[in-house]
Amino acid sequence: MATVEQITEGLAANLSTISGVQVSPWMLASPTPPAIHVIPPAIEYHQAMQDGFSELTFTVQAFVALGTDIGSQKRLAQMRAPTGSGSVKAAIEADKTLGGVVSDLIVRSSDEPQVLTLDGGRQLLACDFEVDVWG
């Protein structure tokens, strides 16, 4: 099975096809929206022989600036759409092996938009995507 680092980098590489978005395989302390980062999964050890993993669930979090009510929601709606050039799901699933690093993956869900307040009071509109990855 691929390492968590290889998978996060593969997810970020797939997401980098979305134009005009900051993409990071690592969690961003102060994202510059629009931005997407990958949150490493929880790991349950001893789930397979010799401590191998068969499935990991990653969270991909997308952010947009909350500068305007409608514009921010429209931009996030494009990211949450199942298809299209701005779709997070379509970008991730464009190469379900992440360049041969894993055997398969699927974007399982996107949660509802939420307002996040960063240090200094800056607000972002965000949503999380759950991505199941199989070794």
The two three-digit tokens of residue 34, written as one number: 């629009």
What are the per-10-residue average pLDDT scores of the chain (135 residues)?
93 97 94 95 72 81 90 95 98 97 96 91 94 91
Using alpha carbons only, what angle is made at residue 86 by residues 75 and 41, rounded to the nearest 5 degrees?
Answer: 95
Phi and psi at 70, nearest 5°, equal -75, -45
What per-residue confidence (pLDDT) applies to 55? 84
DSSP 47-71: SSGGG--SEEEEEEEEEEE-SSHHH
What per-residue confidence (pLDDT) applies to 51? 59
Angstrom distance (rounded) from CA 47 to CA 49: 7
What per-residue confidence (pLDDT) applies to 17? 97
What per-residue confidence (pLDDT) applies to 119? 83
Query: 4-134, what's its fold?
Result: Alpha-Beta Plaits (3.30.70)
What per-residue confidence (pLDDT) applies to 130? 98
